[in-house]
A and B are shown apart, each in its own frame.
Chain A
């Protein structure tokens, strides 16, 4: 009586709208999420969104997807989580498919190739900037610096799938922290 149940299609379309408006990765999503989910729909409180978003950043996968699943499952359980997630990825699938088709058809043109050779330089700089930003958050002491250095050199010089580095690093984190506790 007090709270009307949110329909699965409302979850899907609201998150589709959030997906279209998210421009440039999960980090750009937060202000839109606050406006749509907290202010307009009142599906979650401000603090809940911040919690979901924080957890979404440190669990595996795309931040936007993680946050959408969280809010969807809060409103309508497992089905809600799936509806919200499909909603947030739906616009990407449509837009990229159209663009990818267009680019494939025009990629033989000289000016398109020249444009992309300029863009590739920009991509170098954007990835470099992303690494610098992440470094400040992830390398916090000597041990995390050591993990960073080992994985960096290891994956530059060796052809080992990234999955193995991730598993080894998680194990190293647990091991190092346990040694620290015992050492005290």
Chain B
């Protein structure tokens, strides 16, 4: 299959099944990276950070970034169009029968099950990010197996202590400190970048 066709198809699926906005596309993008080898999970996290720090909806920024990583400017166009196509089709249909859609029991019941699943998928993505960044556990799946393997890089110890310390500080600042908790994420991203540079220079 041509790369462009694959790119379009993967993003079409993401646009169709990711419910609840930009962050909901993260588990799908992670899966695409694993299945195709186009980018690593670390690459994806960097893309997410850039997407949160630049203008535009996060989901679109991430699709654009992945598209660029895979195939430059043509990749940008194919990935983004792929991601928005299902939305446009679904919304045009919903708009035509707005009242029916809102009162539909079937739709409401499906979303009753969908919402916690969507949250859980992002939660699982969060667990793998935390394992990858804050510990030295690597997750791999042998070819043909659907069970993930967790392995420890013995030489480096279990935990990334400086990272954990920074994470704890950020967690407190974004949740419990009144003057800082409503600041835009870009503030914390810049702060973390500065800490990273300072720690690297020390």
Residues on A close to B: CB < 8 A?
Answer: 19-27, 29, 51, 55-66, 69-70, 73-74, 78, 81-82, 85, 88-89, 91-93, 95-97, 99-101, 103, 110-111, 113-131, 134-135, 137-139, 144-145, 147-152, 155-163, 165-174, 176-178
Contacts and interface: CB of A to CB of B under 8 A. Distances in A.
B73 interface: yes
Task: Enumerate the 8 nearest inter-chain pairs by beta-carbon distance, A residue then B residue, closest first.
Answer: A173-B113, A118-B196, A114-B200, A61-B87, A169-B117, A92-B56, A151-B120, A138-B115
A114 to B, nearest CB: 3
Contacts of A148: 116-117, 119-120, 123
B36 interface: no
Contacts of A159: 34, 141, 145-148
A57 B122 CA distance: 16
Interface of B: 13, 15-23, 25-28, 31, 34-35, 42, 45-46, 48-52, 54-61, 64-65, 68-69, 73, 76-77, 80, 83-84, 86-88, 90-92, 94-95, 98, 101-102, 105-106, 108-130, 133-134, 141, 145-148, 163, 166-167, 170-171, 174-175, 184-186, 188-189, 191-197, 199-201
A99 B69 CA distance: 11
B22 A26 contact: yes
Given A97-B73, A131-B122, A159-B146, A60 B57 contact: no
Nearest to B16: A60
Nearest to B35: A161
Contacts of A25: 21-23, 52, 57-59
A175 B108 CA distance: 12
A55 B88 CA distance: 13
Nearest to B58: A25
B184 A73 contact: no
A60 B64 contact: no
Contacts of B51: 96
Given A25-B22, A119-B192, 8 more contacts: A55-B102, A59-B91, A62-B15, A89-B64, A115-B193, A124-B129, A134-B118, A163-B17
Contacts of A58: 19-20, 111, 115
B91 A69 contact: yes
Contacts of B86: 60-61
A94 B96 CA distance: 32
Contact of A176 (B61, B91, B113, B174): B113
Given A85-B84, A171-B113, A73 B95 contact: yes
Contacts of B201: 111, 114
Given A92-B60, A96-B64, A61 B83 contact: yes
Contacts of B22: 25-26, 62-63
Contact of A147 (B113, B126, B186): B113
A93 B76 contact: yes
Given A134-B119, A169-B113, A19 B192 contact: no
Contact of A24 (B124, B148, B184): B184
A62 B49 contact: no
Contact of A62 (B73, B87, B95): B87
B69 to A, nearest CB: 7
Given A78-B92, A92-B64, A117 B196 contact: yes
A81 B92 contact: yes
Given A70-B91, A131-B126, A23 B84 contact: no
A134 to B, nearest CB: 4
**Max chain B Cβ within 10 angstroms of own Cβ: one of A23, A60, A69, A99:** A60
A125 B188 contact: yes
